[in-house]
Amino acid sequence: MPVSDKLLMRGLLHGFYWFDEGLHKSLAAGGWPLLSRSQSMIMINLSDGITRPAELARAIGVSRQAVQRTLAEMERDGLISLVPDPADGRAKIVRVSLDGEGINVTALRTLVAMETELERRLGKQAVAQLRKTLFADWGPVMVHAPPASPSRRPARKGRDARWRKSNL
C-alpha cells in the first residue's frame, strides 16, 4: 500500500493550494477584494463557460443553496450579475461584471507569473510535462469498490443515502 503522504492526490491538492494561496495574496496586494475559495472557484468555472447556478454547484461539488448564497454575495460586491436566461425564462445565468473582468485579467497575469516562477524553480521541462499530464485525457472516472468491512454498513441508494441514527 502506498504511503499516504506520497499519494498523487495529496500532491495535486498541495499544488492547487500553492496556486490558490499565491493568487489570493497577489489579488489582495493589487488592491482587489479578498475572494473566498468558493468565489474563486465560481470565477474559474465562469471563465470555462459554466454560467447556470445549478451547473456551477455541480462543477464545484456544493449544494445549489450554497452557490446561490455565494452568488448573492458576489452580486452584492459587484463581481457578477444574475440575468434572465434567454433559453429558460424561469432561470438565471451568471455574467461577470466589469470589476469581475478586472479580477479575471489580474488573476490571469498572476497565474502566468506563477507558472514562470514554477518553471524557474522546477525547470521548464518538468512544468511542460506536468501541463501535458494534467491536460491529457484521463478517461472516465474510475470507481474502485474495496471489500466491505464487517463493521461497516453498506451505503443506501437514493434519497436516503445518508446514514442517520434514526435509520437504526
Q: How is the chain split into domains, by residue range? A: 4-136
Give me the pLDDT at residue 168, please. Answer: 37
Q: Are strands 80-85 and 88-96 parallel, antiparallel or unpaired?
A: antiparallel
- Contacts of residue 24, Cβ cutoff 8 Å, sequence gap at least 6: 34, 35, 40
Give me the pLDDT at residue 118, please. Answer: 97
Give me the pLDDT at residue 121, please. Answer: 98
Give me the pLDDT at residue 167, please. Answer: 38
CATH architecture of 4-136: Orthogonal Bundle (1.10)
Residue range 104-157, pLDDT digits in tens: 899 999 999 999 999 999 999 999 999 999 999 999 999 998 887 766 666 665
